[in-house]
Amino acid sequence: MTHNSKQPCEPRIAVYPGSFDPVTLGHIDIIQRAAKQFDKLIVAVLNNLSKNPLFTVEERKELLRQTTSHIPNVEIDSFRDLLVNYMDDKQGHVIVRGIRSVTDFEYELQLASTNQKLNPRVETIFMMTNPKYSYLSSSMVKEIARFKGEVVELVTPEVETALREKFNNID
Ligand code: ADP
């Protein structure tokens, strides 16, 4: 009997971590493009108590689920552990991050270098923003929505509604 030394191919799993408070069209663009490159893309909401989020982790996950339901290989999750440990738990190979500017790059380089040191098994890859979203951030969206400005071209209708409800309840 001939022995086939080839192992069955492991699925390529990537993790896109972030605050997603809330998810914007810039994030969705990265999710769509990254999902094409891997067997599975886990979008992981960071449960970080030191930031002061507008939406709870559950709300952020629900908005991500609604806005990515058309992409079959995307899974929504959250984590509070160190990212590199979470990568081990999920058997993830690659961390995906988006870059909008030189300012993003400096911070991301520091983050990727630290993660590389902590867990050399895991690679970080960067995806350049779609130029039409290069100025777009969750904090800008929140600022506009807080003052009842128009966010239709920045987020999905579900997120727009959630922002309106949130600020109506706060004000
Ligand atoms: P974090 O607090 O981890 O920066 P964010 O939710 O703000 O979380 O962003 C998550 C990731 O998405 C980061 O890599 C960020 O650079 C990227 N990102 C945010 N907005 C955009 C955008 N408009 N275009 C491309 N990437 C983006």
Domains and CATH numbers, the chain: 13-133 (3.40.50.620)
Which pLDDT band, with edges at 50, 70 and 90, does 89 fall under? very high
Q: Atom 8 (ligand 1): residue with closest C-alpha? A: 18
pTM: 0.93
Ligand 1 centroid to residue 98 C-alpha, Å: 6
- Residue 2 tokens read as 């001939």
Q: Residue 109 contacts by C-beta under 8 Å, 6 or more apart in sequence?
A: none
- Residue 36 tokens read as 């094409």
With 60 as the cut, is the pLDDT of residue 126 above it? yes
Closest CA to 133 of 41, 51, 30, 38: 30
Ligand 1 centroid to residue 66 C-alpha, Å: 18
pLDDT computed for residue 2 by the predictor:
47
With 70 as the cut, is the pLDDT of residue 155 above it? yes
**Contact (CB, 8 A) for 22 and 155:** yes
Please list the active-site residues. Answer: 27, 51, 100, 138
pLDDT, greater one: 50 or 35: 35
- Substitution candidate for ligand 1 out of 20, 21, 25, 27 with most atoms within 8 A of CB: 27
Q: CB under 6 Å to ligand 1: residues?
A: 18-20, 24, 26-27, 30, 97-98, 100, 104, 129, 133, 136-138
Ligand 1 centroid to residue 56 C-alpha, Å: 18
